[in-house]
Structure 1
């Protein structure tokens, strides 16, 4: 199973970070048809061959994504999209 991991330090307030994470989950839902659910300081994203987790703790945002066979064809653009979003929205 293909996938990727990303980490980014953050200093912004947790509530702002939570809002930014929700915007990313909403965007992925709109563009890729995935569902999201919150569990504490983690949002699980699943659907369309994508199984991901975005969590934040100890000043670091961690993103891990596993991709099914068909979704693995989109690994590079999906990783680039998530990385760009983190760089633009997380501080």
Structure 2
């Protein structure tokens, strides 16, 4: 199993960051067939072979994802895509 952790700082404030995260999570859910469940400022995401959380704080967004064996071989490219998506989404 592969663990991916990505954290990005932002200066948007918690509410604006959450709004951007909601849009990003909706896009990812459609594109990658993810199930997403919000609990406060944390969203749990799941799909076959992967599960994790996205946590929104006042000045950071953190993604923690566990990949099963089949997706582990694509771990570095998945991490790169997460980093790119966060960088794009967090532009003020």
Q: What is the TM-score normalised by the length of structure 2?
A: 0.87
Gaps of 5+ in 1: none
Partner residue, 1:11: 11
Give 1:5-84 correspondences, 5 Å limit: 5-84=5-84
Q: Secondary structure at the match of 2:7?
A: strand
Gaps of 5+ in 2: none
Q: What is the TM-score normalised by the length of structure 1?
A: 0.87
Q: Number of residues paired by the alignment?
A: 91
Deviation by residue 1:34-79 (Cα, 9 ceiling, x = unmatched)? 1001011111111121111110224111111100111212212211
Q: Alpha carbons of 1:36 and 1:22: their partners in 2 closer, same or farther (altered >3 Å)?
A: same
**CA RMSD between the two structures:** 1.4
Instruction: Please say if residues 10 and 90 of structure 2, whose CA atoms lie closer than 8 Å, have aligned partners that are also in contact.
Output: yes
Instruction: Please say if residues 36 and 46 of structure 1, whose CA atoms lie closer than 8 Å, have aligned partners that are also in contact.
Output: yes
